[in-house]
Structure 1
Amino acid sequence: MKLILSRKGFDSSAGGCPSPVFPDGSFYALPIPDPRSRVAYRDIQYRDANVGALVRNLTGDRRAGNRKAHLDPDLIPHVKPRTQGWTPCLGQSGSAQSHLARQGVGAGDLFLFFGLFRRVLKSQGRWRFRPDSKAFHGLWGWLQIGHVHTIDELAPGQLPWASDHPHFHGEPDQRNTLYVAAKNLILQGQDTGYAGAGVFPEMTDRHRLTAPDARMTTQWRLPEFFYPASEETAMTYHQKMERWSMSDSGCYLKSAARGQEFVLEVAHRPAAMDWVNSLLKGVSA
């Protein structure tokens, strides 16, 4: 199995701010803007919050609700009306998809999605970033690949439940790919009882990537199994050994500021599955 740490959601360049972590520890990974999308921010509802209003509050953009959202990965069933047969999925194209293809990513491999987050509070009826909080990278969801489709090769009407997915409305691209989630999450050949894709219920220290005392969000603390024995066994985009260090408090990484998909082969890293299971604590089976 391969683990893919996949960067998704708002940040300082795509969207203009972090995604919110609410006072109860829950969060919403804001989808990035996409003028070609058929879904507006105001069309998305997360729990009792309209995402259009949420983006307007956090960015100060009065027209945010009318702007289009790149709802991808699309993991949460009830954020908008669905066509029968809808299944969680992820689209990828261009150079990022070429990287996944070169690494042999396919059925059974596991995406772990991360993004930039910051804690918020509600003041005078508006969501605002807490002035005493700092932005950090955190893991927010997962998708185990069940099927892989080259979108431009699909027959008309095939996968009708995905027709409003943003990767069905871009420029032609022979690399344009849809990763459809497996029904159940299988780890080490065992059905875990969890769905093949979903979001974590809250942002805890287990889900945090940025080290607690880091000055930059890209300074990560990771489980020890990430530490590479050599450049050849390192997570992609992070083959230079000077990026890595070990101390009594864990494995540290100066993570790449660019790149969307970081791939790690975990076939000989049994601790990886224990870590994935720890991330799923609190998820409804």
Structure 2
Amino acid sequence: MKIILSRKGFDSQYGQIPSPILSDGTLLSLPIPSKMDPEVKFKDLHHGDLSYYDIIRMLSPRSSIKENHTCHLDPDIRSEVKERPMERVPSFGQEKAALRHLQNQNVGIGDVFLFFGWFRQTQYIDNRLVYTPNAPDLHVIYGYFQVGGIINRMADVPAWLKDHPHVKADRWNNPNVIFTASQRLSLCPGLPGAACFQFDNRLVLTKSGCKRSTWDLPDFFRGISISYNKNSWKEDCFVAASKGQEFVFEANDGAVEWIKNIISPEIVNSPHSIAFTMR
């Protein structure tokens, strides 16, 4: 089984602020702005009673993101952010160089993506959501996705997937696929094939007191080759590559146990997360 550590959501270039760790533990990955995807606006996505646009404006009043700005909702693994067809399955698209990298690594059905991104703890001060003062910037794993199907032709896209950003006709002019999630996670059959996590320290990649790309991986990873990450190991840490979306490795026994510990039922979101409302 291949595991893909997949970097997603707001970063220092796209969005330019950390995604929030909400007070209820929700890891709310903010999808990157995208003029290419007119179907979904930040104001169309909701967590409880607030839109993603509301949340962004509270966290960053000077954000360049405006109410009518659109975003790239991908991976699409949080079911409750907008209305869905009943037959909807979690999905994730990839294209161009990033897709070629996955193909060169022979990523396919049964392999597992662990989505991570830039996060910071938040809290309410004077009835306003703000970043917790002095909270560190962290790389955190916020969700997982086991590949159950691969759509690599526009003609094979089902009707329920028609709003996915990778369905657009011009994307098929380049290497482009849409992955759909398995019904169940093979490592933990009691769990769905894709889901988001509630915050837990075991999901934090960043080494305490360090920059977010300096990770505290278990020592057994020293014997594992991770794509895009040559010479990343230092004496007491792993410094993740600054470039590249998809870091692929073959899971050994240690990695499988590490992943099972991360994908634990008590921190996997139910299909409908706790509502998030103004207090």
The alignment's TM-score, normalised by the length of structure 2, stands at 0.89
Letter in 1 for 2:195: G
Question: When the two structures are aligned, how many residues end up with a matched partner?
Answer: 265
Cα distance in 2 for partners of 1:84, 1:123 equals 38
SS at match of 1:155: helix
Q: Does 1:254 align with 2:239?
A: yes
The answer to whether the 8 Å contact 1:107/1:148 transfers is yes
State how far apart, in whole Å, the 1-side matches of 2:78 and 2:124 are: 24
Mapping 1:164-179, distance limit 5 Å: 164-169=163-168, 170-179=170-179
Shift of 1:5: 0.1
Tell me the amino acid that sits aligned with residue 159 of structure 1: P
Change in CA separation of 1:62 and 1:97 when aligned onto 2, cut-off 3 Å: closer
Q: Does 1:227 align with 2:228?
A: no
**1:246 CA displacement:** 5.3
Deviations 1:109-149 (A, max 9, x none): 00000000011122233221122212110100000000111
2:276 counterpart residue number: none
CA distance in structure 2 between the aligned counterparts of 1:196 and 1:64, rounded to whole angstroms: 34
Query: Is the alpha carbon distance of 1:15 and 1:270 closer, same or farther for their aligned partners in structure 2, counting shifts above 3 Å?
Result: same
Amino acid in the other structure paired with 1:244: W
1:271 to partner: Cα distance: 1.7
Which residue in the other structure is 1:218 paired with? Answer: 213
2:274 is matched with which residue?
none
Cα deviation digits, residues 9-29 of structure 1 (max 9, x gap): 011111110000122322200
**C-alpha separation between the residues in 1 aligned to 2:261 and 2:49?**
28
Shift of the 255–182 alpha-carbon distance from structure 1 to 2, 3 Å rule, reads same
* Native 8 Å contact 2:154 2:172 kept in 1: no
Q: Which residue of structure 2 aligns with residue 15 of structure 1?
A: 15
Residue 245 of structure 1 deviates from its aligned partner by 3.6
Give 3-state SS (helix, strand or coil) of 2:229's partner. coil
Matches of 2:65 and 2:3, distance apart in 1: 38
Instruction: Report what 2:57 is aligned to.
Output: 56
Q: CA deviation at 1:284?
A: 6.0
Closer, same or farther in 2 for the Cα pair 1:51/1:234, shift >3 Å? same
Are the counterparts in 1 of residues 22 and 122 from structure 2 also a CA contact under 8 Å?
yes
CA distance in 1, matches of 2:260, 2:48: 25
TM-score, length of structure 1 as denominator length: 0.87
SS at match of 2:3: strand
CA 63–210 in structure 1, closer or farther in 2 if over 3 Å, else same: closer
Q: Which residue is 2:205 aligned to?
A: 209
Contact map agreement 2:44 2:82 (CA 8 A) in 1: yes
Q: Distance in 1 between matches of 2:87 and 2:212?
A: 38
Change (3 A) 1:131 1:284: closer
SS at match of 1:66: coil
CA RMSD of the aligned region, Å?
A: 1.8
| 1:274 Cα offset (Å) | 1.6
Amino acid at match of 1:237: Y
